[in-house]
Amino acid sequence: MSDIPFGTTEWSSIEPTQHKGESGYAYWRTCQFGELRVRMVEYTPGYLSDHWCSKGHILLCMEGELHTELEDGRVFTLKPGMSYQVSDHTEPHRSHTKVGARLFVID
């Protein structure tokens, strides 16, 4: 990270954008800091991603439960306080949740 001055973010003041999944919706509140995209993401109950993602992320589960499937078939479950990290173009992944989830994501 470079050329990012100290600042604070009031996430509730950022208008969410809606992204439809294969089922359910994701709501993103997004800030851009140089090349870093930082998001507060909420998945509705029953959300299933509509694509395999090959972008790298650092993702922290803040509420709910998130299941992330890798293209090789492995599945990881995150509960509040758990995170995952993956670099760009390393392991394609997609997520789903039965109960909904609130996430903090840096990519």
Question: Which token pair is 101?
Answer: 């989830």
Please tell me what DSSP assigns to residue 16: P
Question: pTM for this structure?
Answer: 0.92
Say if residue 3's pLDDT is above 90. Answer: no
Question: Which token pair is 58?
Answer: 């650092």
Q: Kindly report, residue by residue over 4-50, the tens digit of the pLDDT.
A: 899 999 999 999 999 999 999 999 999 999 899 999 999 999 999 99
Contact (Cβ atoms closer than 8 angstroms) between residue 22 and residue 94: no
From residue 27, alpha-carbon distances to 1, 8, 70, 72, 91 in Å are: 26, 21, 22, 27, 24
Say if residue 1's pLDDT is above 90. Answer: no
Q: Kindly report, residue by residue over 74-87, the tens digit of the pLDDT.
A: 999 999 999 999 99
